[in-house]
Amino acid sequence: MAGNSREQLLAMLAEKSFRLGQFKLSSGGTSDYYVDCRLTTLDANGARLTGESVLQEIAHQGWRADAIGGLTMGADPIVVATSVISAQQGRPIHGFLVRKAEKAHGTGQRIEGFHEKPARVVIVDDVCTTGASTVQAIEAAREFGFEIAGVMCLVEREEAGGRANVEQAAAPAPFVALFTANDVRAEHVKQND
């Protein structure tokens, strides 16, 4: 079952997270489709598939990671699912979350969770359009003292210069997407034919 986690994840994203219509994007642009990954990543089975698929990709890329994290909220369920599955598999990858701004009270931290330095980390996000949230997470992780092993998103929209923005910020670490929006759209159309 774990061998086809990625295929099952794609099917679930197409069924639960992909919508056709007219949508305003966080980038300010408009689109004839919308992908809300949280409808999948916060589903019990979807969380398992997300964690398994992300771990498989980390292994495929050869990224030796101590932790996985990203900007809250899109990254939150991906981080937790991956950390839980990694522990179940006996190769724990810890989680951290990047706040959009430093906390104004308490310890005033921007990075929550895993804090060991030096550490190799993977930055994750749910959807990459302009790449702004992914770039914010990369910058905060580096500023904290983490070394970026790689950067991954679940769905890349392939527009608005997102890939170029993330690749520039992540360099020399590579950026990969589990799926493109076209992959998800094609699966959605196939399911609804």
pLDDT in tens, 12-30: 999 999 999 999 877 778 8
Under DSSP, is residue 69 helix (H, G, I), strand (E, B) or coil? strand
The DSSP output letter for 122 is: E
Which pLDDT score is estimated for 104? 60
Half-sphere exposure of 121 (CA within 13 A, CB side): 32
Enter the tokens of residue 104. Answer: 């104004």
Please report, for residues 29, 67, 93, the alpha-carbon distance to residue 173 in angstroms, rounded to integers and kept in the order given: 28, 15, 18
Q: For 113-155, write each residue's pLDDT tens digit.
A: 999 999 999 999 999 999 999 999 999 999 999 999 999 999 9
Find, among 161, 149, 153, the residue nearest to 178 by Cα.
153
Measured over the CA atoms of residue 51, residue 53, residue 54 and residue 58, the dihedral's sign is positive
Ordered domains of the chain (ranges, CATH): 2-191 (3.40.50.2020)
Residue 105's pLDDT is 60
Distance linking the first and last C-alpha atoms of the chain: 26
Report pLDDT for 103: 63
* Whether 81 contacts 47, CB under 8 Å: yes
Per-residue pLDDT at 107: 63
Mean pLDDT of 57-71: 97
Residue with tokens 């890349």: 156
1 pLDDT higher than 50: no
State whether residue 71 is helix, strand or coil.
strand
Contact 22, 55 (CB under 8 A): no
